[in-house]
Structure formats: structure tokens, C-alpha cells
Structure 1
């Protein structure tokens, strides 16, 4: 570690060794990827009954495939296809959702009262595209279980910002873009356990940036451990 002295007081200023910083970043990346692989394999094993039950329920109650695939924006703006359980009808118009997200991102969306908790939340209500089974899957966030596949493929991480749709990113302000440029999207994250749909878009991005600035293996593990409580209480879920 290099250092220099200022004045006669001999105040030492230490400069971190670039090679040490590079090594730490490399170790951090390897550690995060290892946790992602092991965690996603474990998740697929634990939630295998959900795969079976959800697949049967979706096929019985609505026409169409079990899985829903959609383009999302990953780290550095890379486009990938996300996997989820299908919660909507096959033929649907996404213009209403596109318009809502535009208003949400620009701070023009109005918070509504959640029919379950009575709390004010930011989300679309009475979305006619969502099936009855889909509402249950969304309320418990179980529709996102197939994203463990995306983690195995390396497109996502267990912990990170929510993966946005390309037309959402087009509406971003410059500072919003940090959430997609500097981190892989995650199945869960700081926003998901602390705010979910009770938080404005700017608030969500601030939480994502806070995660990006302070992320560590320990922080990721804390988020993962807190996720089941947020999931099963359905607080602010979409």
C-alpha cells in the first residue's frame, strides 16, 4: 500500500494497492457466482413441488403454455429472456401496463389502497389480463420461481435489482440507469424485502443504488434470509 506525507506534521495518506482492489473484486465475483449456482440449484430442488402443482393448475385453468418468457434488460443493458410461470392470458394488450409504467417511472402514478392490507401501494389494479391462478402466484411471488433457471444461465443473480422490461428503461432518467448498468438483476433484492410496491420508483432506484454501493456476500445472505418473510406475508406484493 503506497503512502505520502503532507507538511511537517507527517500526516500519512494511504493509497490502496490497485492489485489488491482487483483481487478483492475478483474474489467477490467468484463468491457471488458460487452462491448463485448453489442457491439456484437448492431453490429448484426445494420448489420442485411448486413446479408440479403450478404447472398442473395453469394448464387446467387457462389455455396456453405453463411458462412465460419475456425480454428483460440485464447488466450493462444486455437483453435476455426471463422465465416465469404464466399468470396472464396468452393474447393480451400490454399498452395499459406500458402507460402505467411510464407514469410510475415519472412519478405521476397514484398510490391505491391494497385490497388485502389496506395500505397505499403503487400497482395496477383490476388487471383483466391476470388469471385467477395467476393472482395467487403473483400475490405470493411464486410466479418468479422459474427465474432460478435464469440464475443458472448467468443472466440473473439471486440478489439484485428487479429486471426491467426494455420499454421501461427507455423512460429512465440518467441516474436511474445505474440499476441496469452496474449490477445483474436479481430474483430478490433490497427493494423487494424493504419496499416492494409500497415504494415510489425513485425510492426503488435509490434502494437499488444503495445495494450496488454496499453489496457484499454477507449483505446478499441477509437479503436472501429475509426474503421468505417478505414473500409469505405478501406485503406490498404485485
Structure 2
């Protein structure tokens, strides 16, 4: 394999180059100061940007790391000049050189539409413009905080600690925010190109982070205790009102698809008329919802009985909303993107962004994003947003857009 790397003198590049070289990849390192690259990476081929066309013939991959980072003290136009203009110029040169695969490295900050910093805006625009280019296989890979043998940015203080202590301190920090080891990036780049996905996020995930898993379980149990102690009376009142106002049970039990595709019984206050068809909410007529059901769904009080599912460890406070087994398109889309490894939740990233089950592919993509970016701080943001009323829940057939 032969690969061109731009911006290799940055932190990610200094961690990535030795891994790729060790895997047998022939490298050409490109930068504005080739002599600095030669000093940093003895024995590697280096050149300036004006030499790419002549030096990169026969190379299959270009990894674009060159960037004006979000900590740079520069005007907004400088971010767009470097992160958009320069990227597109390099992509065109790569195309002329016959390089079939172009990988643009970006940050997960660019995925947050609420982030309007010049860096995030320029990286979003770069990804859009790159995706529109024809004649080259272009991908944008989004990364959270990257680490390798050393750490950078807000984690750089770990470099001053003894190695065993630094690794021990890193676990709780990684539970707070998503991270990715540079080895995952190297492995992705040396595999055959993976097409079909318009959003590729590489991260370590939290599956193996005991600190995150323990904290999350404790938060779930604390939520159960708070609801049971302080809202137990309200749950009883709601149950009585449902029984009085419409025929049928107060609690609605329904089979849902949980973690690893296992089916479990999910409990909610009944918000629809008895006998309503078992289908996704977006497939149910709006007049199936009872008057009190509308209030419960709007205030999300209908979800309170799910504290029993939390107690049984079938659900978590935050996670992808569990769907019905008959929603096969959504189940398959989630399976394909690895979402089913996640425990379902009472609320989630998709819900606070008004993405419901009427669009299975879009929902599965956002669920997969949550799985990649899962962290305690993100979970807290989702809970706060839910408490503040963001997300209207699944729309009925008359409301679906």
C-alpha cells in the first residue's frame, strides 16, 4: 500500500506515521516545510505541496490531516481558506495524480450543528464540498480526542505522570468524553475502502470502560429511587386517571427490541385507546390517543413506569429508543450499524433532535452517532435537554412529516 499524508507534523500525524510505516505502508509526507518533516521522520519520503502531482503517481490513498485547528488565533476567513479552500485544492491535485481514495480527517465538533465556531463551520463546509466532488473516492472521518503513546490538548497533563498512573487516570477522563486510540485510525486506513456510509466516526466507545458502565448504572438506579420516592404518588394518580377516563388498563405492556436484539417487555402509562393496532406510533392515527394520553406524551410522564425496566437492567436512562419487533426495517438498520450492542433508553440523542421512527435509516444513523460519542457528559446533555422539553417524541400518522 502507498499513501500520501498531508499535515503529518501535527499530533495525529506524529502518532500515525510510525504505525502506518510499521504496517508496511510506503509513505510520502507532504507539508509546507519538507525539511521539518524530514527531521521528524528520518527515512521517509517528503515533499512540498507543489510536488504532489509529480511524486504521488501510483499512490492509492491520500490522508489529509492539514488543518487550522480550533485553538488557532485566526480570523474566520483563515479557517475557511485552510480547512475548505486548501483541502479542495489538495483533493483536485490528488485526482489529477490518479489517487483513487481521498480521506479527510475531521473532528466530531463539526457534527454538532450548534457549534458555530469558525473551525466547526469550516470543517462542515469542507465535508459537504468534498462529498460533492466527482471522480474521486472521498471520505470524511470524524474523530474525538485522539491519543496514542502520548496525549495532547486538555489531556496533555497525563504525559507528566508515571505511565501506570497516567493510564489509571485516563479511564475516568475517557468516561466523561469520547476518545479514540490512533491505532483504530491506522487500522481503518489500511483496510479496503468502506463505501456506503455518509458519516464515519471512529472512537473507542465505552463498552470496555468500567468507570463509564458503573457510573451509568448508578445513575440509572438513583433515577429509579428518586422517581419511586418523590413521584410514586403522582404515578398512582396518573394510573387512576387513565382507568377513570378510558376503558382499559392503566399500564401498557409491550414487547420491544432491546440490547443484542433480545426482546423484552417495556412498560408505559397507556396513552392510546384500548385495542389500538400494535405498530409504530407514526403508523397509528392521531385520534387513537386519549385526551389524557396527549398530556402524558407531551410531558413525557407516560415513560415513568419504565423505571421497572431500568431496575431490571433492560433499559438505561439514555440510549436508543427501543422499537417493536415488527419494525424490521429499523431493526435491520440498527443491526447493520452496530446500534443493537447498546442498551435502549428512555430518552436519547435522536429524540432530543426530533428524529422519530418514521425514518428508520435516519434514526439508525443518529443512534449510531450516539454509540460512537457515548460519554457521561453527552448523557447529561441529553437528560437536561429532555427535561427542558426538547423532542416531541414519536409522531402519529397525522403528524409525521
Q: TM-score range, shorter-chain basis? A: 0.7 to 0.9
User: Which residue number in structure 2 is paired with residue 116 of structure 1?
Assistant: none
Among 273, 279, 286, which residue is 1:89 paired with?
273
TM-score of the superposed pair, with normalisation by structure 1: 0.72
Q: 1:171 aligns with which of 310, 329, 333?
A: 329
Are residues 1:138 and 2:297 paired?
yes
1:214 aligns with 2:373: yes
State the Cα RMSD in Å.
Answer: 3.5
Aligned to 2:388: 229
Deviations 1:129-149 (A, max 9, x none): 322222221222211111111
CA distance change for structure 1 residues 77 and 131 in 2, over 3 Å: closer, same or farther? same
Residue by residue, what CA displacement relative to the aligned partner does 1:145-178 show, whole Å, maximum 9, x if unpaired?
Answer: 111111111000000001011011x224754324
Structure 1 range deviating more: 180-189 or 38-47:
38-47
Is 1:30 equivalent to 2:63 in the alignment?
no
Q: Name the SS of the counterpart of 1:87 in structure 2.
A: coil
Counterpart CA distance in 2 for 1:59 and 1:23 is 42
Partner of 1:9 in structure 2? 42
Alpha-carbon distance between aligned partners in 2 of 1:89 and 1:188, rounded to the nearest angstrom: 24
Q: 1:81 to 1:162 in 2, by over 3 A?
A: same
Deviation per residue, 1:166-199 (Å, 9 max, x gap): 011x224754324642201000111111224498
| Secondary structure of 1:65 counterpart | coil
Shift of 1:224: 1.1
Q: Which of residues 149, 153, 170 in structure 1 aligns to 2:312? A: 153
**Partners in 1 of 2:247 and 2:211 — Cα distance?**
47
Counterpart selection for 1:55 from 212, 215, 239: 239
Pick the aligned partner of 1:77 from 258, 261, 264: 261
Give the structure 1 partner of residue 363 of structure 2.
204
- Kept in 2, the 8 Å contact 1:160–1:184? The answer is yes
* Cα shift at 1:44: 3.1
Q: Indicate how the Cα distance of structure 1 residues 23 and 175 shifts in structure 2: closer, same or farther if over 3 A, else same.
A: closer
**Distance (Å, rounded) in 1 between the aligned partners of 2:42 and 2:381:** 43
More contact order relative to length (CA 8 Å, sep ≥ 6)? 1
Cα distance change of structure 1 residues 225 and 92 upon mapping to structure 2, 3 Å threshold: closer
- Report deviation, 1:126: 4.0
Q: Give secondary structure in 2 for the equivalent of 1:166.
A: coil
Q: Distance in 1 between matches of 2:43 and 2:318?
A: 44
Tell me: CA distance 1:165–1:199, structure 2 relative to 1, closer, same or farther (3 Å): closer
- The more displaced of 72-81 and 23-32 is 23-32
C-alpha deviation, 1:88, in angstroms: 2.1
What is the CA–CA distance in structure 1 between the aligned matches of 2:246 and 2:207, rounded to whole Å? 51
What SS does structure 2 have at the residue aligned with 1:211? helix
Inter-CA distance 139–15: structure 2 relative to 1 (3 Å threshold)? same
TM-score by length of 2: 0.45
Deviation at 1:33, TM superposition (A): 1.0
Query: Equivalents in 1 of 2:277, 2:332: separation in Å?
Result: 29
Matches of 2:268 and 2:381, distance apart in 1 = 24
Cα distance 1:174–1:56, how it changes in 2: closer, same or farther (>3 A)? closer
Return the alpha-carbon distance in structure 1 between the equivalents of residues 228 and 355 of structure 2.
Answer: 23
